[in-house]
């Protein structure tokens, strides 16, 4: 698979959203609390940023029950979609080009 052409993505570029995508880049999926704890942010802030990414089709969310829990709450799992992975790689390529002094459109 070839690398995508550099493409700056304003939606991904927001610091927390870039960090979320970076966390998801090398894993199949992460549970909500793992992402929250890794970023040291509260549930509401993470939920807001996940919604933006999900609405754009860059991540997918799914909920499932956990046999380890005794209550009825479900776990939320987060993963990059194929479109999200491509967009992130293109954004990272754009950042590398910018850092190297190469203009990116």
20 CB-near residues (< 8 Å, 6+ apart): 35, 39, 46, 49, 50, 53, 59, 78
Give the residue, 102 or 38, on which the prediction is more confident.
38
Mean pLDDT, range 18-27, rounded to an integer = 97
Domain range summary for the chain, segments of one domain joined by + = 10-99
Indicate the pLDDT class of residue 103, thresholds 50, 70 and 90.
confident
Tell me the pLDDT of the chain averaged across its residues: 92
**Domain 10-99 part of CATH 3.20.20.70:** no
């Amino acid at each position: 698979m070839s690398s995508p052409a550099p493409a700056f993505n304003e939606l991904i570029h927001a610091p927390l959203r870039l960090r979320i995508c970076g966390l998801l880049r090398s894993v199949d999926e992460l549970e909500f609390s793992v992402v929250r704890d890794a970023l040291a942010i509260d549930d509401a802030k993470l939920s807001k940023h996940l919604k933006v990414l999900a609405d754009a089709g860059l991540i997918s969310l799914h909920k499932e029950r956990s046999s380890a829990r005794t209550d009825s709450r479900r776990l939320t799992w987060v993963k990059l979609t194929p479109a999200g992975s491509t967009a992130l790689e293109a954004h990272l390529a754009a950042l590398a080009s910018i850092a190297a002094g190469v203009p990116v459109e």
